[in-house]
A and B are shown apart, each in its own frame.
Chain A
Amino acid sequence: MIIRPYGDTLDDGAVQLSFTLPVPDGPKGREAARLFVEKLGFKHVDVVHSTALSSGFSMYVAYGKTETSVDYAAIQVEEATGAKVYTMDEANAVIREKLGRKVVVVGACTGFDAHTVGIDAIMNMKGYNHHFGLERYPELETFNLGAQVPNEKLIDYAVKVNADAILVSQVVTQKDVHIQNMTEFIELLQARGLRERFIVCAGGTRIGNKLAVELGYDGGFGKGSYAEHVATFIIDRLIERKTVH
């Protein structure tokens, strides 16, 4: 199934764009904007608005039509959790039945990142958006270390409480600080021979499963994920490990 953006007619390929150019507003700027959009591969380009942002910068709104398409049927996405997500009660029941012991989870927002709301949303009693947090799951034992936690400290803590899973939250992503920090975390685990000991999940507004897996995590959770997603993931992985070993 081949698809293109939809304006008001199937396959019209209509796209709206807005951007800034480092040149003054005026006929020349508008022509530059038009050419630029054309070079992106758009046809019937219309620069519908331009305005000066300052003496040397200008902003444009443009429309164009594209013939570029994607094959929708061929697309595969790998989310950390599949179609089946356990409710809190189901999760507890599965742990009792299949694992027969409490599952220990340690989490933190690491590095210099001070954003606690995301990790709290997943871990704290109250949860988020009417989805309870992991702390409320009777079969889980959770430790939320808060924010600005050095990678080393998080690992030490996980070792201390004999954790099954470690949750890493990263919200600040400017200049790819999260990538450096997340990579360092995995390298530290590897250097200490601990990578295989834990299920390691990353999460945050701009984190996806794809990125997390690329960086060596077991799974990644972005915007819109709740405690039950990560609980399901951890439980299924633990069961998987148990049957393999």
Chain B
Amino acid sequence: MESKLALSQERIQKARELATSIVGPVLDFVDLHTTVTVERATLRLAGADGADADGVPVPNLVVDQLKGRLEDGALLYYVNALVKTGGTVADLNARIAGGLDVAALPLGDRGTLEAKAAELVETFQRRVKANRAHREAKQKQFEGRNHSPLLYVIVATGNIHEDTKQAVAAAEQGADVVAVIRTTAQSLLDYVPYGATTEGFGGTYATQENFRIMRAALDEVVEREGRYILLTNYASGLCMPEIAAMGALERLDMMLNDSMYGILFRDINMYRTFVDQKFSRMINAFAGIIINTGEDNYLTTSDAVEKAYTVLASQFLNERFAYAAGLPPRLMGLGHAFEMNPTLHNGFLLEVAQAQMAREIFPEAPLKYMPPTKFMTGDIFKGLAMNSMFNFASKLTGQGIHLLGMLTEAIHTPFMMDRFLALDNAKHVMNTMEGLADEIEFRKDGVIANRAKEVLEETVVFLEEIDGVGLMPAIEQGRFADIKRPADLGKGLDGLQKKGPGYFNPFEDFLKAELGL
């Protein structure tokens, strides 16, 4: 791609070096630890599923039984129980749901357990590889049928069966990506509910069964429309890696997954989040799932001009964390957002500068561009106009994943009609100006080029500061999003566990080997 901003490669390189240095010590910490949800995710990859009569999921039952022994890895005891009881994984799940205590069984010979675990890894990897192969085959079969950028919409009725209707309609209207928004507060549950669900607030529970139901519904449209429809959910919150695991098993294609969002915006403990994000990203990487990072959130609480550098800085950090988990750039949907105050004179130029800058700094990443949200009001007519500007900016700067703005953003989760109008608007704008980007260059010393330089420079300065204090202390001091999060506070800290000398996790070993880590 030809550069239109003439950004200094040296400064970009500098920012990357700083990000590497900042992330390094965090990764060292991560490698020595596991968490309850990493353990449950591992169990899920091995096939643990189902729930007891009270709705407590089997992976939680197992991990809860292992109080004090988690440093060995929960899988050790699960596999041991499998060997001891002699049945299938499904039989074991039913036994555990019925009250079997895996911690009560004496541990068998390590070699036998390793061999049994290797079988489970084999089953897992065959399933996920088949999912990848299916996705790749369909994308090849229907090559050129998706929009560029991918048009992304959300559904959020709370009822999975209603969601599928909305999703199918959206796909028929031209959506390329359908995301099922999670219900309010699921991110703070330390378990993933089991089964199909029909009640949620502002979203629908992420459950493995809900994933399966939606995937099946969309797969039908894929054939009918001759276009691959990507399914998205949220690998975030206290169960980040478990949701990644479910997504890998049920062939989701994208996952919202940020290395720091949970810490800053959901008050989840930072140690917990850093450990969880790594394992979840390894699963995503192996499953070929594109992650979507959450930089847009910085701009919902701060000003888009003043704090533009926090977005770019976070993109560099997310990129580094992603590499460390084996994600190639083509799976890094780094985020940013069109949140410039609409009354700002020449604000559109600044917006284009920032979007183009992201494009040029991360040329291979399918950047995820978020629409105006915080300046959307009950004036739906103005909202539609703002969304048109957003669509224009996105196409002009070659974004990868385009989250459609809804004219009713300030009012409710989208009605079917809102989604249609958004898709119609995007298709209209993007079609009518398809070739414009190739026609224009930006003035060397113009507002746009200068703005991009300025943000890059501010980012380098900011990253230098963070590098000086260290990432975790910087978060404690409130240097990100003006939110202070003490390292030893926040939700989920009690689920952090140092790995013991005999820590057993062949899934992690497998993923590392497979991803070349």
Residues of A within 8 A of B (CB): 18-20, 51, 53-57, 59, 112-114, 116-117, 120, 146, 148, 172, 174-175, 177, 205, 223
Question: Assuming A18-B417, A20-B416, A20-B417, is B202 touching A172 (CB within 8 A)?
Answer: yes
Cβ contacts under 8 Å, B265 to chain A: 114
Could you tell me if B267 and A116 are in contact, using CB atoms closer than 8 angstroms?
Answer: no
Cβ contacts under 8 Å, B410 to chain A: 205
Interface size on B, residues (CB 8 A): 25
B184 part of interface (Cβ distance < 8 Å): yes
Question: Assuming A59-B417, A177-B201, is B266 touching A54 (CB within 8 A)?
Answer: no
Could you tell me if A177 and B184 are in contact, using CB atoms closer than 8 angstroms?
Answer: yes
A-B contact pairs, 17 of them (CB 8 A): A19-B417, A20-B417, A53-B416, A54-B172, A112-B184, A113-B184, A114-B184, A114-B185, A114-B266, A116-B301, A148-B188, A172-B201, A172-B202, A174-B201, A174-B413, A175-B158, A177-B184
A153 shortest CB reach to chain B, Å: 13
B412 part of interface (Cβ distance < 8 Å): yes
Cβ contacts under 8 Å, B168 to chain A: 54
Could you tell me if A53 and B169 are in contact, using CB atoms closer than 8 angstroms?
Answer: yes
Interchain residue pairs A-B with the least CB separation, the first 4: A54-B169, A112-B185, A20-B417, A54-B172
Question: Assuming A20-B415, A174-B413, A175-B201, is B169 touching A57 (CB within 8 A)?
Answer: yes
B420 part of interface (Cβ distance < 8 Å): yes
Distance between Cα atoms of A51 and B173 in the complex (Å) = 11
B300 part of interface (Cβ distance < 8 Å): yes
B11 part of interface (Cβ distance < 8 Å): no
Cβ contacts under 8 Å, A56 to chain B: 169
Residues of B within 8 A of A (CB): 158, 168-169, 172-173, 184-185, 188, 201-202, 265-267, 300-301, 374, 377-378, 410, 412-413, 415-417, 420
Could you tell me if A57 and B416 are in contact, using CB atoms closer than 8 angstroms?
Answer: yes
Q: Is the interface of A mostly helix, strand, loop or mixed?
A: mixed
Having A53-B417, A172-B201, one finds 11 other A-B pairs with CB under 8 Å, namely: A19-B417, A53-B169, A54-B168, A54-B173, A54-B416, A112-B185, A117-B301, A120-B301, A148-B188, A174-B184, A174-B413
Question: Assuming A112-B184, A148-B188, A172-B184, is B300 touching A53 (CB within 8 A)?
Answer: no
Distance between Cα atoms of A81 and B374 in the complex (Å) = 26
Residue among A59, A114, A116, A172 making CB contact with B420, cutoff 8 Å = A59
Cβ contacts under 8 Å, A174 to chain B: 158, 184, 201-202, 412-413
Question: Assuming A172-B201, A174-B202, is B169 touching A148 (CB within 8 A)?
Answer: no
- Which A-chain residue is minimally distant from B186 (CB atoms)? A112
Distance between Cα atoms of A59 and B267 in the complex (Å) = 42
Distance between Cα atoms of A148 and B237 in the complex (Å) = 14
Cβ contacts under 8 Å, B266 to chain A: 114, 148
B20 shortest CB reach to chain A, Å: 32
Cβ contacts under 8 Å, B374 to chain A: 117
Distance between Cα atoms of A107 and B401 in the complex (Å) = 38
Cβ contacts under 8 Å, A19 to chain B: 417
Cβ contacts under 8 Å, B413 to chain A: 174
Distance between Cα atoms of A236 and B49 in the complex (Å) = 58
- Which A-chain residue is minimally distant from B301 (CB atoms)? A117
Question: Assuming A177-B201, A205-B410, is B300 touching A117 (CB within 8 A)?
Answer: yes
Distance between Cα atoms of A117 and B481 in the complex (Å) = 12
Distance between Cα atoms of A48 and B283 in the complex (Å) = 51
Cβ contacts under 8 Å, A54 to chain B: 168-169, 172-173, 416
B303 shortest CB reach to chain A, Å: 10
A94 shortest CB reach to chain B, Å: 31
Cβ contacts under 8 Å, A114 to chain B: 184-185, 265-266
Cβ contacts under 8 Å, B172 to chain A: 54-55
Distance between Cα atoms of A54 and B166 in the complex (Å) = 9
Cβ contacts under 8 Å, A116 to chain B: 301
Distance between Cα atoms of A172 and B183 in the complex (Å) = 11
- Which B-chain residue is minimally distant from A173 (CB atoms)? B412
Distance between Cα atoms of A54 and B300 in the complex (Å) = 33
Distance between Cα atoms of A51 and B169 in the complex (Å) = 13
A96 shortest CB reach to chain B, Å: 31
B416 shortest CB reach to chain A, Å: 6
Distance between Cα atoms of A177 and B199 in the complex (Å) = 12
- Which A-chain residue is minimally distant from B158 (CB atoms)? A175
Distance between Cα atoms of A67 and B301 in the complex (Å) = 46
Cβ contacts under 8 Å, B420 to chain A: 51, 53, 59
Cβ contacts under 8 Å, A20 to chain B: 415-417
Cβ contacts under 8 Å, A55 to chain B: 172
B236 shortest CB reach to chain A, Å: 12
- Which B-chain residue is minimally distant from A113 (CB atoms)? B184
B339 shortest CB reach to chain A, Å: 12
B477 shortest CB reach to chain A, Å: 17
Cβ contacts under 8 Å, B415 to chain A: 20
Distance between Cα atoms of A31 and B184 in the complex (Å) = 40
Distance between Cα atoms of A112 and B266 in the complex (Å) = 11
Cβ contacts under 8 Å, B202 to chain A: 172, 174
